Amino acid sequence: MRISPVLLCGGSGTRLWPLSRKSYPKQFSRLLGDETLFQAAARRLTSTVNDLSFAAPTVLTNSDFRFIVTEQLSEIGIDPGAILIEPLARNTAPAVLAAAFHLVAQDEDAIMLVAPSDHVVPDKETFHAAIKSGLEAVEAGQLVTFGITPDRPETGYGYLDLVAKPDGSGKPIKLNRFVEKPAAADAVAMLSAGRFLWNAGIFLFAAKDIIAAFETHAPDMIAPVKAALDEATPDLGFLRLAPAPWEVIEDDSVDYAVMEKARNLSVVPFTGAWSDLGGWDAVWREMGPDIDGVATAGEATAIHCKDTLLRSETDSQQIVGIGLENIMAVAMPDAVLVADMSRAQDVKMAVAALKAKGAAQAQHFPRDHRPWGWFESLVLGDRFHVKRIVVHPGASLSLQSHFHRAEHWVVVQGTARVTVDGNVKLVAENQSIYIPLGAKHRMENPGKVPIILIEVQTGAYFGDDDIVRHEDAYARI
């Protein structure tokens, strides 16, 4: 049976600040190895194991992440089936419904597997076996969710209360009720009871059945979501949902809107390893702490520490912990988090506090990703701004001009094709070029290796709204 994966990747992951931020959330980060969480999720749902066959994934994301999605999928050789662009964040319910309408229009019997793109599921074969187990219930008209067998009294997850204890067969079991994140004593009692599983937020159902569930339990969402899809516009291989009908949709999760009300819901118990990486304590566990409970990443050194996480997210920054116990410390070039491990769920408070004081670090990642590559600020002064810019092979910046700044480009790797007021010139490594204020200019990478250059801007204002785009391969005019 062919299954259509639906990957949700529009979240911000504030509990993993400072690595995860609104402009570049955790699903696109390499938290646990060479692949990002999004890449691992896509790869997990493309190969065929246990007689399962997966269609190309459908991705739900927002406009800011659309080129990150395509770039990261391209890196691992996966061609998406469709990338739906949400005009505004409206939680998971409308996203799931839009995907269902999109898939059922192509195949009225489409089976969808809805999964977050920021979870860790290292045992792919066991996960595929659980999916296969759920298909029988789906064929009987059931909405299937996956419950994780708990190994500790976790208070950071919601739970699924089953009508009976799992018997180890992996067969679907009827759901009694959803349980919100519990207090510590309740979590201990539920672990002891044996019939409670963690809610993974992963769903398997026929597209027509989830649409019917919305018609019964969230009928007000049907018309605007369908209109947003019917009036969607193609854009460079993306499908932009229409903003006007999308704006009136209520912000709601698929759990609250449908799942908690549906009576045809079954749970497949999953006994394999799983984590939603919902906090730095979860990352610490997944990293595999040593005998002293210490986990390090990057240029990090722990001396006489215990039950501690130390991470440096840049090669040029050393982080050293001495005599620490139950501490998590994460160092970025522009921000450092130091907190007690027991306060992992409170990291979002740091984001709120920084937003309140207007700090850019609350939401903006130091490396700014663009469809052609990325840049990062090195030095920012009153009348100058120095950046490092990386342009992918075959990519090009827009033909643009500025009212308030001039630019110097110094190429330190590769060869750039530069256009300035209609004049085209190749600028090789160790060469530079000056872009006068007001000049129409463009940079292209005609080679097979990334271009790296240092840009020095001089002027009175350096905001993105001083970019006037005259032509753009990525339709950003």
Contacts of residues 97-100 at CB distance under 8 Å and 24 or more positions apart, as own/partner, are 97/210, 97/211, 97/214, 97/221, 97/222, 97/225, 98/60, 98/225, 98/228, 98/229, 98/241, 99/6, 99/58, 99/60, 99/207, 100/207, 100/208, 100/210, 100/211, 100/214
| Alpha-helical regions (H) of 30-159 | 37-44, 66-75, 92-106, 124-139
Contact 142, 205 (CB under 8 A): yes
Contact 190, 159 (CB under 8 A): yes
With CA atoms as reference, report the closest residue to 467 among 370, 361, 334: 370
- Cα–Cα distance between 426 and 430 in angstroms, integer? 12
Task: Quickly tell me which residue has 């130390």 as its tokens.
Answer: 310
The pLDDT value recorded for residue 1 is 73
Report the DSSP pairing between strands 196-206 and 238-240: unpaired
The pLDDT value recorded for residue 362 is 92
Pair of tokens at residue 79? 């061609």
How many C-alpha atoms does 302 have within 13 Å on its Cβ side? 26
Domain boundaries, the chain: 2-270, 280-344, 367-471
CB atoms within 10 A of CB 389: 22
3-state secondary structure of 151: coil
- Cα–Cα distance between 24 and 443 in angstroms, integer? 24
Q: Which residues pair with 336 in a beta bridge?
A: 331
Contact 304, 322 (CB under 8 A): yes
Q: Which CATH class is domain 367-471?
A: mainly beta
Contact 31, 19 (CB under 8 A): yes
Query: What is the reported pTM?
Result: 0.90
How many C-alpha atoms does 438 have within 13 Å on its Cβ side? 0
With CA atoms as reference, report the closest residue to 47 among 5, 82, 6, 8: 5
CB atoms within 10 A of CB 470: 12
Per-residue pLDDT of the chain (477 residues; tens, 9 = 90+): 789 999 999 877 789 999 999 888 999 999 998 899 999 999 999 866 557 889 999 999 998 898 899 999 999 999 888 999 999 999 999 999 999 999 999 999 999 999 999 999 998 889 999 999 999 999 999 999 999 999 899 888 899 999 999 988 889 999 999 999 999 999 999 999 999 999 999 999 999 999 999 999 999 999 999 999 999 998 888 999 999 999 999 999 999 999 999 999 999 999 989 998 989 999 999 999 999 999 999 999 999 999 999 999 998 899 999 999 999 999 999 999 999 999 999 999 999 999 999 998 999 888 888 889 999 989 989 999 999 999 999 999 999 999 999 999 999 999 999 999 999 999 999 999 999 999 999 999 999 999 999 999 999 999 888 999 999 888 776
Q: Which CATH superfamily is domain 2-270 in?
A: Spore Coat Polysaccharide Biosynthesis Protein SpsA; Chain A (3.90.550.10)
With CA atoms as reference, report the closest residue to 169 among 49, 51, 270, 272: 270
The pLDDT value recorded for residue 161 is 93
3-state secondary structure of 362: helix
Contact 126, 52 (CB under 8 A): no
pLDDT digits (tens, 9 = 90+) for 152-195: 998 888 999 999 999 888 899 999 999 999 999 999 999 999 99
